[in-house]
Amino acid sequence: MAFSFLKPRTALAMALLAATSLAPLPAGAQQQQRPLRLVLNVGLQTLDPVAGPSFVTRNFSYMVFDTLVAVDSQGRYRPQMLDNWRTSEDGLTWTFTLRDGLEFSDGAAVTAEDCVASLRRWGARDSLGRRLMAATKEMRVLDARTFVLELARPFGLVLEALGKPSVQVPFIMPARLAANTPPTTPVAEVVGSGPFLFVREQWIPGERTVFVRNPRYRPREEPADGLAGGKVPTMERVEFVNMPDPGLRAAAIQRGEVDYLEYAPIDYIRNFTRDRNLVLSRARGGAEIVGGISINYHQPPFDNVLVRRAVQQVMDRGEIIAAEGVPTDFARPDCQSLYACGTFYSSETGTEPMRNTSIARAQELLRQSG
């Protein structure tokens, strides 16, 4: 039984991810001078987005790296580091051209060679990347800003692979690191072309991660939209802070000791909405979480598909969400799409059993099941 609820989810300070999040309202220019403190769900231990398949490493990587393709709030894939792409008539040859003027944090220009090396390393590790590489005949560099991906057979998810938003994300790093580091071994340096720089000497693994604005970063000109568009850093310093206890997180945000919670604890949401100093944003589109209930179909009577369908007929999604503790105005139990509602892929096709439920239909299914 699929339904959608706006459970607080990942979002970064520069609107890298559209999400449900919690942050205090600005309290004047003086407050803006201190670091922006973000409380993530767990502490950061691994700095390599290919070697470390965790959400916190992904969040870290969006701060310091960038991607060729990015997905917007509606689920559409748009150029990010790329200026454009072209495909052959048969769909087997993809030509990618980088934007002009991209630089890594060490001052080196981002080149097509860096992209090819990064994609090869990622493609040896990520599940979707491995499928893309298995369908690829070759990747070759045409010039400093252009490379070609030639497929050996049709593969319908090229852009979806290059622009996948979560672990493992094909972030671009220098070829000198990507080409010489096995995908299971963390790279020795953190060198990216993203909006912030990682301050390694101030990193306390699992406790605190410090970033400063990257002066070499070149954002896109269009407005930010989801993970796509121009990500313009407005803070000079950002910190990831680890607070394992939900109660401590809630107290810290209410006292103004931190500025953002990656996950707003559900038990505290109603109190947060009454606090005039806090802003509780609601996830939309691809940032929503789609919930589901799995039945053990190995055990009778649920080994009978008709019994499972009968259960589907009598489940009340509103009651299920309420049992989770999610406030009514933060949920969408009426969402009847197999994909997240409000996205490019949203569709009610195939959801007739969920939209037309009845006790009588459940009783009939039970009779048919014996």
The residue from 178, 212, 228 where one domain ends is 178
Q: What domain count does the chain have?
A: 3
> Is there a contact between 264 and 38 (Cβ–Cβ < 8 Å)?
no
Task: Tell me the β-bridge partners of 322.
Answer: none
Q: Which of 110, 111, 102, 107 is nearest to 142 (CA)?
A: 111
The residue from 253, 280, 307 where one domain ends is 280
Structure confidence at residue 4 (pLDDT) = 33
Tokens of 59: 């969040």
Q: Which of 50, 36, 141, 45 is nearest to 98 (CA)?
A: 141
Task: Tell me the β-bridge partners of 213.
Answer: 196
Confidence check: pLDDT of 332 > 90 = no
Residue type at position 187: V
Task: Give the mean model confidence (pLDDT) for residues 156-172.
Answer: 96
Confidence check: pLDDT of 344 > 90 = no
Strands 289-291 and 3-5: antiparallel
Which CATH number goes with the domain that contains 46?
3.40.190.10
Q: Pick the residue with more confidence: 344 or 183?
A: 183
Confidence check: pLDDT of 7 > 50 = no
Q: Do 256 and 222 sit in the same domain of this protein?
A: yes
- For all residues of the chain together, what is the average pLDDT? 89
Q: Do 131 and 149 sit in the same domain of this protein?
A: yes
Structure confidence at residue 52 (pLDDT) = 86
The residue from 178, 202, 236 where one domain ends is 178
Could you tell me if residue 2 is inside a domain?
no
Residue range(s) defining the domain that contains residue 360: 289-369
Task: Tell me the β-bridge partners of 230.
Answer: 223
Confidence check: pLDDT of 2 > 80 = no
